[in-house]
Amino acid sequence: MATSRNSIIALAVTVLLATPADAQSQRQLHFLSKQCNEDAIHMHLEPRPFQDFVGSEFSLVLEEGKAHVLIVVQDCSQYWIDGADVGPAQDINVWVSIRGFEDVRSVVGAEQTLPTRTWFHLFAGSSNPRVREAKMAAGTAQAPIAGVFLNPPGPQRTGRVSLSKDLTYSWEVPSATPLSRLVGLNHDVYTRDPAGHGGLNRIQVLMHVSAAQSTGTLKVVGGTDGLPLISAGTYAVTVSTFFPMWSRATLGLARAR
């Protein structure tokens, strides 16, 4: 059984996302695959600053009148870009939910595949300079970060990411037993580079769910100039833990809207 599951996972990681948008791309495509431990932190904030950032071309998905913000924190043991091993990396991505197609694109090996989620990119950072360089080439601005710490799953989960020497995100949340262990999900992430040009990154993920979404707190401490959309303070959040997750992404697609 373990051999069969490992074979399924290996197949899922090597499947490339082929979409009609690939042929429409005006820029060089880049292909990313990685294996990481991950905490996914969901929070809800006042929508106006996020709608101003996203612009009138996109509509936010509001939940009880609030913008849905996702912070994805990853400690990656394996990382490939365009087939080259760029070594381990620690990443953070911050996205806000926008309206999309919500179709279902099957993920090989998943017990359950969720509808596609659509996001707009707010912030990305990595501890690995080779990762930052490659993603910048694909049109996604990257900031250096100091590091990520994720506690292994247990009765109480904690994590921390240091975006800089004086800005830290930390969280604490009790564990909840997942209903499914292998869950598939597709993310469409719209981006805007520093020159104002838009693009699309398509990400397919196979997640080993170690702890289901449960409620806890996020503390943001320090100067927030690097990410001003989230002020310093304490927030109610929900956190899911994936130890590990496998993903494959096509970066730098033309906009498909």
DSSP string, 51-101: HHHH-TTS-B-EETTEEEEEEEEEEEEEEEETTEE---EEEEEEEEEB---
Pairwise CA distance, residues 61 & 59, whole Å: 7
pLDDT profile of the chain (257 residues), mean per 10? 39 35 58 97 98 96 97 98 95 97 96 97 96 86 94 91 94 93 97 86 97 97 94 97 96 71
Please tell me whether residue 232 adopts helix, strand or coil conformation: coil
Pairwise CA distance, residues 92 & 142, whole Å: 10
Pairwise CA distance, residues 122 & 227, whole Å: 8
Examine residue 244 and say whether the peptide bond preceding it is cis (omega within 30 degrees of 0): yes
Integer distance in angstroms from the first to the last C-alpha of the chain?
A: 42
Alpha-carbon separation of residue 115 from 104, 184, 198, 239 (angstroms):
5, 9, 24, 19
Could you give the percent of the chain with pLDDT greater than 90? 77
Query: The whole model's pTM is what?
Result: 0.89
Element (H, E) at 8: helix 2-14
Fold exhibited by the domain 2-15+27-253: Acetoacetate decarboxylase-like (2.40.400)
Nearest to 206 by CA among 2, 57, 10: 10
| pLDDT score of 24 | 41
| pLDDT score of 27 | 63
Pairwise CA distance, residues 48 & 101, whole Å: 23
| pLDDT score of 22 | 38
Q: List, for residues 103-134, the tens digit of each pLDDT value.
A: 999 999 999 999 999 999 999 999 999 999 98
Nearest to 95 by CA among 201, 219, 166, 176: 201
Tokens of 26: 């005006």
Q: Write the single-letter amino acid at 238.
A: T
> Is 143 within 8 Å of 226 (Cβ atoms)?
yes
| pLDDT score of 193 | 79
Pairwise CA distance, residues 158 & 41, whole Å: 11
